[in-house]
Amino acid sequence: MTPSTATMLARAAQGDDARAFALLADLSEALAESLDLRQTLTQALNRIADYMEAEAASLFLLDAATGLLECKVCVGPVDLTGLTLSMEQGVVGLAATENAVQIVADAQTDPRVHKRMDAETGFVTRSLLCAPLTTANGPIGVLELINRKSGAPFDATDAGILRLLAAPAALAINNARMARELIEQQRLKREFDLARRLQKSLLPKRRRAGFPLLAVNVPAHEISGDFYDYFDLPDGRIGFVIGDVSGKGLDAALLMTRAASLLRWAGKDGLAPSEWLRRANDELCQTTQDGRFVCALVGYYARASGQVRLAGAGFPPALLHADGDYAEFRSDGPPLGIVADMTFAETMVTLGSGTLYFFSDGVTDVRTGASRLGNAGVRSLIDRYATLPPEVRLRSMVSELRSLKLVDDTTILLLEEPRAHPPQVLLRRSFAAEPERMRNVRADLRHALDAAQVAPELRDRLVLAVDEACCNIIRHAYRDRAGDITLSLRRDGDVLEFELRDSAPSVDPCTVRPRELGECRSGGLGVAIIDQVMDEWLLQPRRGGSGNVLRMIKRCPQPQEDEA
């Protein structure tokens, strides 16, 4: 048994071995301050070898990936740097596996010694001393001394001292490793961020009002395997793509970027959708490995004729919602990237005044309790928001999907001819976020709603709800600090949309919830009133920077004009 560390320290601190104590202090300091660990370790090993009067010394580190011990630093007549040993080999391996000091007094007869090295190098090993480099998570390497110069074997006292000297080396190496892992994690995070930004930049920009396609993509994780695209052809048709790459994570994301650009490239030639998919499939088959594949749906919309021509590759059916009825359009081509030379069927859809929805399977896979949302769930989701203008509708659908559990990336693409009457701005004004301003704001809003022929009873409720929302911004978002609020009121068909923008610190929408009405207490009534008066409301942080946007929707049919 080797003496305990405390005993060794006590012994080293007094009498003959005070030198060992000084060396330990020196080594600890040098290793702790080291900027170049390899160089410092080499110097440390030299000093240890000198102090212990050893002919040779080496430091082995354990590679967690391979389970091998590799000689990193070496002092003595034979250079072992780069030599690897398995954990089962020799005294070095034994020190690591048993996490204990090993003393070999006579190397020539000791069965623990691995004899091959001597045979190869011509070096004669007489005595050995090995100490593990120990950390809280087990040994990370071994410090080995070979042959005392005096010829005497290493003993228990030497073992104790070496164990002491190994401690600061283990600590320094472990710290350096943890620092390197941290840097690696930060590098990975930067790369993920870059991948996410790159992906977002591949998605087309939202077009001005009047463009018939609108899409939204909600990644379940940091990066997405879903994509969509739309573009104009010279002949006036509009091409569109929606797709979904199998698998998740970085390599799925990389395949997504390739599939997205490939499908755009093939679609811009104005080929028939079946040919478009065939070309993309053949190209993907040449390069896609590991069983990954791409599900996609592509098509053209000819605005003049109102016809949509599409083809699918393993993608869920398109859903047409027109006059309160639903129709599914399947096009069951195989997913892309599996087998080349496949053919794809086409489908024609007459859009008319209807809406065509394309959902990635992430939508039907959304969890509602223990079951999936499914086709029926998707239809009732559309029903709930069908009368809203497309942008608000998609936003409302996504916010409802978000409140359920997303298990997969979720993408919705919507195709619909814009209504004949574009949204009309009824009021727009900015004001300081102060309670004293609200009287005038209410008066302006009352006038605007009167001008829009909103019935007085509803008008007063709407004014109250907007007032409550402003007061909440003043009190809870700005917290009585100075700032502005911008109020806009728009009519879009049968819908009144109230929007409040502020530049206060972002509020977590989850913390804003209505209380039960009819409760006799004085707080939290404002949100309950908003919830009661409005059909929908949605609070979101403003894109890029601080601030919040609150949108409130109220269905309010336009008064019928007299024909006479």
Q: Does position 474 bind other proteins by CB under 8 A? A: yes
In whole angstroms, the minimum distance from the beta carbon of 461 to other proteins comes to 7
How many CB atoms lie under 10 A from the CB of residue 487? Answer: 21
Q: Which is nearer to other proteins, 518 or 545 (CB)?
A: 518
Q: Does position 518 bind other proteins by CB under 8 A? A: yes
Rounded Cα gap, residues 387 and 85, in angstroms: 73
Sheet holding 346-350, edge to edge: 226-232, 238-245, 294-302, 307-313, 346-350
Among 55, 467, 492, 502, binds other proteins (CB under 8 A): 467
Q: Does position 558 bind other proteins by CB under 8 A? A: no
In whole angstroms, the minimum distance from the beta carbon of 500 to other proteins comes to 15
**Near other proteins by CB under 8 A, which window of 171-179, 187-195, 275-283, 431-439?**
431-439
* Number of amino acids touching other proteins (CB under 8 A): 27
Q: Does position 520 bind other proteins by CB under 8 A? A: yes
Among 57, 252, 426, 438, binds other proteins (CB under 8 A): 438
Q: Which is nearer to other proteins, 101 or 530 (CB)?
A: 530
Among 114, 221, 258, 442, binds other proteins (CB under 8 A): 442
In whole angstroms, the minimum distance from the beta carbon of 533 to other proteins comes to 7
**Near other proteins by CB under 8 A, which window of 197-205, 353-361, 408-416, 428-436?**
428-436
Q: Which is nearer to other proteins, 416 or 467 (CB)?
A: 467
Q: Which is nearer to other proteins, 349 or 438 (CB)?
A: 438
Rounded Cα gap, residues 454 and 448, in angstroms: 9
- Interaction residues for other proteins, span 100-159 (CB under 8 A): none
Residue type, 461: R
Interior/surface letters 534-550, b for 16+ CB within 10 angstroms, e for the rest:
bbbbbbeeeeeeebbeb
Rounded Cα gap, residues 428 and 486, in angstroms: 7
In this structure, what is the dihedral angle of CA atoms 272, 274, 277, 278, given to the nearest 10 degrees? Answer: -110
Q: Does position 464 bind other proteins by CB under 8 A? A: yes
Closest to 125 measured CA to CA, from 109, 136, 137: 109
Q: Which is nearer to other proteins, 142 or 550 (CB)?
A: 550
**Near other proteins by CB under 8 A, which window of 22-30, 146-154, 291-299, 459-467?**
459-467
Q: Are 157 and 192 in contact (CB under 8 A)?
A: no
Q: Does position 521 bind other proteins by CB under 8 A? A: yes
In whole angstroms, the minimum distance from the beta carbon of 428 to other proteins comes to 22
Interior/surface letters 386-421, b for 16+ CB within 10 angstroms, e for the rest:
eebbbbbbbbbbbbebeeeebebbbbbbbbbeeeee
Q: Does position 477 bind other proteins by CB under 8 A? A: no
Rounded Cα gap, residues 118 and 78, in angstroms: 10
C-alpha pair distances (Å), 472 with each of 15, 317, 515, 526? 77, 44, 14, 7
Among 270, 422, 435, 559, binds other proteins (CB under 8 A): 435
In whole angstroms, the minimum distance from the beta carbon of 429 to other proteins comes to 18
Among 36, 120, 235, 457, binds other proteins (CB under 8 A): 457
Among 533, 539, 550, 553, binds other proteins (CB under 8 A): 533
Length of the chain: 564
Q: Which is nearer to other proteins, 415 or 445 (CB)?
A: 445
C-alpha pair distances (Å), 539 with each of 129, 417, 503, 507? 69, 28, 13, 8
Q: Does position 77 bind other proteins by CB under 8 A? A: no
In whole angstroms, the minimum distance from the beta carbon of 536 to other proteins comes to 18
- Angular region, 324: left φ>0, alpha ψ -120 to 50, beta rest: left
Rounded Cα gap, residues 359 and 513, in angstroms: 29
Q: Which is nearer to other proteins, 8 or 441 (CB)?
A: 441
Q: Does position 436 bind other proteins by CB under 8 A? A: yes
Rounded Cα gap, residues 382 and 318, in angstroms: 13
Among 122, 234, 236, 523, binds other proteins (CB under 8 A): 523
Q: Which is nearer to other proteins, 346 or 468 (CB)?
A: 468
Among 151, 439, 543, 557, binds other proteins (CB under 8 A): 439
Rounded Cα gap, residues 273 and 275, in angstroms: 5
Token representation of residue 117: 């090295």
**Near other proteins by CB under 8 A, which window of 237-245, 326-334, 416-424, 434-442?**
434-442
Rounded Cα gap, residues 74 and 144, in angstroms: 9
Q: Which is nearer to other proteins, 53 or 434 (CB)?
A: 434
Tell how many helices (H) and how many strands (E) occur in the chain.
14, 23
Residues engaged in binding other proteins (CB under 8 A): 434-436, 438-439, 442, 457, 460-461, 464, 467-468, 471, 474-475, 517-518, 520-523, 525-526, 528-529, 532-533
